[in-house]
Chains A and B, each alone.
Chain A
Amino acid sequence: MNATRVSYTLDSTLASVNKAEQAATEVAAKSGFGEDDCGRIAMAVREAAVNAVLHGNRYDPTKRVTVSFESTPDALSVAVRDEGSGLDPATLPDPLAPENLLKQSGRGIFLIRAFMDEIRFRTMSPGTEITMIKFVRGPGRDGNNKEANQ
C-alpha cells in the first residue's frame, strides 16, 4: 500500500502548535477528507500539540515536539511526540463528570477521542507519543473505535 509520510520537528512554543494545526489541515485535505473532517483532524492535532508543548515539554527550549503524518488511501495517522516526563491517560479525569464540568482545563484528550477514530498512547524514553488515526470513510471495517496503551 502506498503511504505518504511527512514529519516536523518543532520547538516547544505556541507557534509550533499553530504550525502543527496548519500542517494537519493541509495533509488532511490532500488525503481526501472533507471540510468537516479536516477541521476535526486539525483540532485533534492542535490539542495533541498543545499537550506536548504545554504539559509535556513545559515550553522547555531544549526539548522538541515531533509531529509525523502518514497518509494511505484508507487512513491518515498522526503521531505527536514530546520529551516530557510522561502521561498516564488512565489518570485523566472525565471532563463530562458533574464535578469536572466547570473546570477550566482537561478537555484536550477528550476532544481528540471525540474527533479521531483511534488513538494510542506510547510511553517513550523520554516523553509520550500519541498516535491518532482517522479513516477516510469513517471507522475501520470492524466498526469499533479502539484505544490502547502500549
Chain B
Amino acid sequence: MTMKASSRQVDGVTIVDLSGRITLGEGSVVLRDTVKELSNQGQKKILLNLGDVTYIDSSGIGELVSAFTSIRNAGGELKLLNLTKKVHDLLQITKLYTVFDIQDDEASAIGAFNR
C-alpha cells in the first residue's frame, strides 16, 4: 500500500491525515514533500495524524524527525496524533517518544497547540 497524505485546517492547526506505509522511497518522499509545502506556505502548527499508517521503517522514522526539526527551526510546532501500537513501540525503542509531543485525541491536540 502506498502512502497518501491529505491536509485540512481546524482552528488554525493544519492536520495532515496520513495513510499507508512510510518507508524508504515513495512513502518518505510524500511525507517530506507534504511538510515542505506546508512550511513554505507559512503553516506553523502541524498535526500529523498517523492513525492509518500501517508501517514505518527507519527511513520513515528519520523523515518524521526531519519534519519535526524543520518545522521547529521555522518557528513552528509539529505534533503526532493517533499512533498505532507498532508505531508507538518504534518511537519508544528509539527514545523519540520523549522528543515528540504525542496526542491521542484530535480536539485535545488542537488545544495543545493553542495553549
Contact B25 A101 (CB under 8 A): no
Overall SS of chain A's interface? helix
Contact-size category for A: 20 to 34
Docked complex Cα distance between A103 and B62 (Å):
7
**Centre residue among A47, A95, A104, A110 by max chain B CB count within 10 A:** A104
Interface residues of B in 63-115 (CB under 8 A from A): 63, 65-66, 68-69, 86, 90, 93-96, 99
Q: Does B9 count as interface, using CB distance less than 8 angstroms?
A: no
Q: Does A52 count as interface, using CB distance less than 8 angstroms?
A: no
Contact-size category for B: 20 to 34
* Chain A nearest Cβ from B48, distance in angstroms: 16
Contact B93 A111 (CB under 8 A): yes
Q: Does A124 count as interface, using CB distance less than 8 angstroms?
A: no
Q: Which of B24, B65, B93, B95 contacts A103 (CB 8 A)?
A: B65
Chain A residues, CB < 8 A from B90: 111
A residues contacting B by CB (< 8 A) are 14, 17, 39, 43, 46-47, 50, 54, 95-96, 101-105, 107-108, 110-111, 114
